[in-house]
Chain A
């Protein structure tokens, strides 16, 4: 995982799929930062555990702003299957 961070922001480029392993690594780096950018250029899929993690961050009492880059198509399929596609503001979350 490639990481760039400052006091408020954490940027990661995942080297593989976005699953519970990746969640745990990101979680250990994020600490109390308020912005998180995840580049999924190398990910084939995003698991439900990763979706739940991001959901938890975005809708926490002290929310984290999440940006996602290069999500695989399967990510949107999963969001739809979990019924979150309407709740998440994808236009803001997904970066061009």
Chain B
């Protein structure tokens, strides 16, 4: 449950904001002492903003509270007087000898958080980002290395997904609850040992909190004796009515019995009941197994996102690991009220039409197709930093005539973060964005593809800027459309590299 506070920049407001911070952090799963650290960090930042950014002026401060399975991030934004925290370095000697406590509040913030980032976005304001990770028991520390039922054919993808046979044996399929958390973590460990791509699934507490807060829902298959045999979950998007079929496992002894098929069907039903407009999968491109499986369930490829996470080894797989892992976005619409955007950006019109053509049965076109909506004038860019993946996603909520200027400010503010990838989502349909695409390409961005319903139930074009070398030979695609997307991405990547050289 994300939250947003809009405060008047006055000292009297700080207590209310820190009270909320503390309560929210506790509710999201932090121990009280950890929540107090976050509340203290927020108090320090807010106090400095009131004292130094606004002084005697009136103004407002916005605070966003964001939750992921592994961490909490609090983002504080304000538009007060420019300020550079790097100029205020705390020196304990100066404090003791000269009574000079300059930088003490930021030292306190650094001490109380796991990560503190300051972004100066010029006229678009300043951002203070406070990150604290969940500390919880890792199932890998509590279980023996080898389980009796573990086979050596552990695989990053379950090989029974493509089976159409009905499950043999007596199994019970139920929706997961927070009480299943430990069984799920054990199941992951038994099946994949250390090779599962989603780190959070090794932490029962993180799973428990995510299910309790309804960030994910799913299904668990148990044997007649009650033991867990399989688990499959949908992770709900936080800003759109879609979900990712992102966590799937069948314990090795129960594979090839059709369990994955019944779980997937159950998930699709559950997703429809919850009103989701679509499901997507991020299929690894180190192999094509997941893409093939997604295809069987009517998912279609829409994008190729490069370097989604850092180097990974795949236990028991017959291919070499790559420096960066890429994914094909496969999408399954769950609604027939999907409106195809009226305006597709110039360089990608044909490719986007080809992508959309895969979903003809679900699409309709706006009746009064033609005139674009008025240019909103201003640009609104949201920044999400994925600290663990060392990447960032910029979402253009509004594209106006200040687009280039806002981009410049934002790019400058994140320059020092040394990110390996920046993704940029541009809204499709409301206004023409060809010039924005052109600007991003000039700044080293290349195509990723179509992100259907990705933000606020609208389609977005994703561009990506990759700061590491990519081995395209290690990226494998299954469908013709995925192949077309890869061809375009590679062409633009090569061109971009040539220009840089």
Contacts and interface: CB of A to CB of B under 8 A. Distances in A.
B128 interface: no
A17 B16 CA distance: 11
B15 A84 contact: no
Contact of B107 (A16, A73, A81): A81
B22 A21 contact: no
Interface in A23-82: 24, 44-49, 51-52, 55-56, 59, 72-74, 77-78, 81-82
B96 A83 contact: yes
Given A59-B99, A78-B108, A19 B36 contact: no
Interface residues of A, number: 27
A74 B96 contact: no
B39 A45 contact: yes
B92 A47 contact: no
Contact of B44 (A44, A48, A77, A84): A48
Contact of A83 (B12, B14, B92): B92
B90 interface: yes
Contact of B104 (A16, A44, A51, A77): A51
B331 to A, nearest CB: 45
Contact of A82 (B14, B18, B19, B95): B95
B33 interface: yes
Q: Which of B15, B44, B104 has the most CB of A within 10 A?
A: B104
Interface of B: 11-12, 14-15, 18-19, 22, 32-33, 36-37, 39-40, 43-44, 47, 51, 90, 92-93, 95-96, 99, 101, 104-105, 107-108, 110-112
Interface of A: 16-17, 19-21, 24, 44-49, 51-52, 55-56, 59, 72-74, 77-78, 81-84, 87
Given A47-B44, A56-B99, 18 more contacts: A17-B43, A21-B14, A21-B15, A44-B32, A44-B36, A44-B39, A47-B43, A48-B44, A48-B107, A74-B33, A74-B40, A78-B112, A81-B107, A82-B90, A82-B92, A82-B104, A82-B107, A84-B92
